[in-house]
Structure 1
């Protein structure tokens, strides 16, 4: 049996979409919400003949990866997050690049020699890789309107991946992926009436309107901290709202805090767009934290550690 294991955000879904459009394969899908990254442990080792892993940190999945390799299961692993020590195995084909200006879908785009580059552009915009997205859009000769449409689609797919559980999402990632397989050209989806694009567009605008009225907990020259209530809309919008804040003030770091049911905070941290470094290492200093250089998070930050978090981030970007 083949297993496709992928992050439920825009980058993970679209990375797999490009692969399966180019190489259709019967597989079992394993994914989840954006923050659900320890996915490889869900692969039944004794049943797997091959595994594709996309857009989840190798460092966070090293134990099940080593179990698969020990059983001589072929693994194709593509990612841009912290990797840790990459195992040396003839059964592992790894494409790992932690550069802050790339993402998994862009790595797959290179792997496929640009075969589905329009989708790679969607993913780049969804992962807030605006410079990369703009460069590819220009190379494709897209109009300003087409570029804006692909950007919106990427943002909406990414927005759909955030939540405490799949129940918070508008569309389950597996269902969304299977739906997107019907559209080798993203413009076919965008231009279809009553499509997923239209559904997510309406939902995104409604949630963002609430986020823009959320209180500011901390404001300085280097960091802004916003607090969202404990609600499904807050969890859905936390990541894309952080991206939007980063785009508005590119010289400042931004943290969006969403209150959890246990009164801890779900943290979404964005490094300054003009200084895309450090976010992953900063969040990794706290339990349940991690990510990449430009964007990272903490699943449960205790309230008594919030001051420490603000001080640490502020000092780093000072």
Structure 2
């Protein structure tokens, strides 16, 4: 059996999109909300199964990966998150790049020699690698209007991945992937009035307007912290809202705290765009935290630990 295992955000969806446009394959799709990253261990792998794993931390999936390899499966793994010690195994084809200006879709783009380069640029925009995406778009000779279109599409696909559960989302990530698979170019998706682009565009604006009406809970030269209420709109907008804040004030870190049903907070942390390091290290200090250098999060931060979180961010970037 073939398994395609991928993060439910723009980077994971578009990484797989490029691969399957290049090499169509019937597979079992394994994905979920953006923070649902321990996906490999959920599978009942058998000998001769083939896994493609995209945009989820190898370190977080090591038990499942090692079990799959021991079962006799072949694994292709591409990612830009924390990897840990990569297993040395003949059946593992690993492509890991932790550069803060690389996303998984760009890794796949390189492996495919740019076959679906416009989709890779869209993913880079969606993963908030704005400067990198602009650079690649300029090399392609895209107009300012075309760049804005790809940026919006990438942002909308990424927006759809955020939520505490799949029911929070407008599309299940597997369904969104399959809906986009019929478009060889992102501009084809934008040109089709029946594509998910238009559904997500309207929903995004409604959720963003609610977030923008909320004042900062804490602000200093080093950090802006915003608290969103416990509802589906907040969970959907939290990540792309953090990206928006980061782009508005590139020399500051930004944290978006969304209240959970149990009184804890889900945290989205963005490192300063002018100093894209440290976010993963900061969040990893807290239970249920992790991520990469430029963007990271905590799934359940107790309210009594918010001050410690603020101090950790301030101290790191001081």
* TM-score interval, smaller chain: over 0.9
Greater than 2 Å deviation, 4+ residue runs: none
Q: How does 1:215-226 map to 2 (within 5 A)?
A: 215-226=215-226
TM-score, length-scaled by structure 1: 0.99
* Alpha-carbon shift at residue 47 of structure 1 (Å): 6.5
Structure 2 counterpart SS, 1:300: strand
Partner of 1:103: 103
* Structure 1 residues 9-24: aligned runs within 5 Å: 9-24=9-24
Query: Helix, strand or coil: the match of 2:35?
Result: coil
Contact 2:47 / 2:71 at 8 angstroms: preserved in 1?
A: no
| CA deviation map 1:99-120 (0-9, x unaligned) | 1010000000001000000000
The 2-side partners of 1:245 and 1:142 are apart by 26
Does structure 1 conserve the Cα–Cα contact (< 8 Å) formed by 2:238 and 2:256?
yes
Corresponding residue for residue 290 of structure 2: 290
Q: Aligned-pair distance for 1:195?
A: 2.4
User: 5+ unaligned residues in a row in structure 2: which ranges?
Assistant: none
Cα distance in structure 2, aligned partners of 1:224 and 1:29: 37
Q: Structure 1 residue 29 and structure 2 residue 33: aligned?
A: no
**Alpha-carbon distance between aligned partners in 1 of 2:289 and 2:216, rounded to the nearest angstrom:** 22
Task: After superposing the two structures, state which structure 1 stretch, 166-175 or 38-47, moved more.
Answer: 38-47
Are residues 90 and 272 of structure 1, via their aligned partners in 2, closer, same or farther at CA, if it must alter by over 3 Å?
same
Q: How many residues were matched structurally? A: 318
User: In structure 1, how many angstroms separate the alpha carbons of the residues matched to 2:185 and 2:224?
Assistant: 38
Deviation, structure 1 residue 132: 1.3
Aligned partners of 1:187, 1:107: CA distance in 2, in Å?
21
- Paired position in structure 2 for 1:258: 258
How much does 1:41 deviate?
A: 1.0
- Quick one: distance in 1 between partners of 2:42 and 2:12? 17
1:200 maps to 200
2-structure distance, mates of 1:224, 1:84: 31
Cα distance in 2 for residues equivalent to 1:47 and 1:264: 41
Partner residue, 1:212: 212
DSSP-derived class of the 1:216 partner: coil
What pairs with 1:1-318 in structure 2 (closer than 5 Å)? Answer: 1-46=1-46, 49-318=49-318
For residues 166-208 of structure 1, give each alpha carbon's deviation from its aligned partner in whole angstroms, at most 9, with x where no partner exists. 1000011010000111001111110112421111111111111
Distance 1:206 1:47, change over 3 A: farther
Report deviation, 1:82. 0.5
CA distance in 1, matches of 2:22, 2:303: 47
Return the alpha-carbon distance in structure 1 between the equivalents of residues 163 and 193 of structure 2: 27
Distance between the aligned counterparts of 1:217 and 1:11, measured in 2?
30
SS in structure 1 at match of 2:69: helix
Whole-angstrom distance in 2 between the partners of 1:174 and 1:48: 24
